[in-house]
Amino acid sequence: MEDFCNMSKFSIAFIKPTEQNELRHRIIESTDQETALKTFFNEEAVDCYSADDQGYFYFKEDFFDKTVSTGSVIQCD
């Protein structure tokens, strides 16, 4: 069970790799950045990738790409 006293807020924005380049943004409460990104992936980006560990790997690769990053994450507190 998660300890809600130790939850941080993460502002996560992501440009979906579609023709419309739709921007998705959410504030996610989580214990750490990795868990917040996984939650964001499952709720907002899984339709653009396979719904498994490999899809999540490619999502993170696009998200943090050094030349053309499609995402941003900021810890709010």
Question: Which tens digits make up the pLDDT trace of 13-63?
Answer: 999 988 888 999 999 999 999 999 999 999 999 999 999 999 999 999 999
Q: Tell me the CA distances in angstroms from 17 to 2, 22, 25, 35, 49, one per residue in order.
A: 32, 8, 14, 22, 9
Q: What's the pLDDT band for 68 if we cut at 50, 70, 90?
A: confident
For residue 46, what pLDDT is reported?
A: 92
For residue 76, what pLDDT is reported?
A: 92
N residues, the chain: 77
Q: Tell me the CA distances in angstroms from 59 to 2, 4, 5, 7, 76, one per residue in order.
A: 25, 27, 29, 24, 22
Q: Write down the pTM of the prediction.
A: 0.86
